[in-house]
Structure 1
Amino acid sequence: MQYWLVKSEPFKYSWEKFNQDGRTFWDGVRNYQARNNLREMKEGDLVLFYHSNEGKAVVGIAKVVKEAYQDPTTDDKNWVVVDLSPVESLKVPVTLDTIKADEQLANVGLVRQGRLSVMGMKQEEFDRIVELGSGE
């Protein structure tokens, strides 16, 4: 099992819309490192859903339900998508400020590579953010 984080601006594709849809392909990735991360995703991997720009918070957990395939929004064979489904909403959104203030998350990609839209995470980082989002 691998762990990931994907970012979406809420006005483009929000957690709420994702839950209404029940499943989506993760398109629009045009950064090679982010694309390579999509290619590494395996069915069953868990993914944190982060609202970027507005809100700046992890708001939910998704899972990979279909591995990388050609991005249907472009004919360019360089770009791929994966299918994701929502698993659960976090009780409390975990803000970027909260993540930056947490010593256990000092090296998380969200802090180190703030502009990357799809990134891998260590299990401990994933678990810590889920714990912070539990509201306990």
Structure 2
Amino acid sequence: MKTLFVSYRVTDLDRSLGFYTALGYAELGRVDGGHGARLVILKFPDEPAASLELVHRPDDGPVDVGSGFDHLAIQVDSLAAALEMLTEAGLRPEPVQCPGGPQGPKTSWLTDPDGYRIELVEWPPGHPDGITAADFA
């Protein structure tokens, strides 16, 4: 088994698409769900398949993200370059943090239009992509 993608319900599809395309996602396709509902499937340009789905169901009302969801983590090659790109696109990333100390990963946070939190992570040199069992040894 493997995870296919994360799905977020969004209040304003156009506003959310603007945010996620500024973050670097590209639209892969759309699905009409009937009764005004729409799904937009996104991926980063270098990914082989979808990694994020935006679900817009206007009949369900505004999104409330305070019901248990915590955050989405996105790996970046260079946090400094990512923050510069995001700031130029009009987004507001938070200051850089080093939660594991100076030898650990660098992180920054963003909040999307519905309040979903996004953690941007730059691993230290030599660290494999993602979190592995070695991170807990």
Higher RCO (Cα < 8 Å, 6 or more apart): 1
- Look at both structures and tell me which one has the larger radius of gyration over its CA atoms: 2
TM-score for both structures, normalised by structure 1: 0.29
Q: Which structure shows the bigger proportion of residues in helix conformation? A: 1
Q: Which structure shows the bigger proportion of residues in strand conformation? A: 1
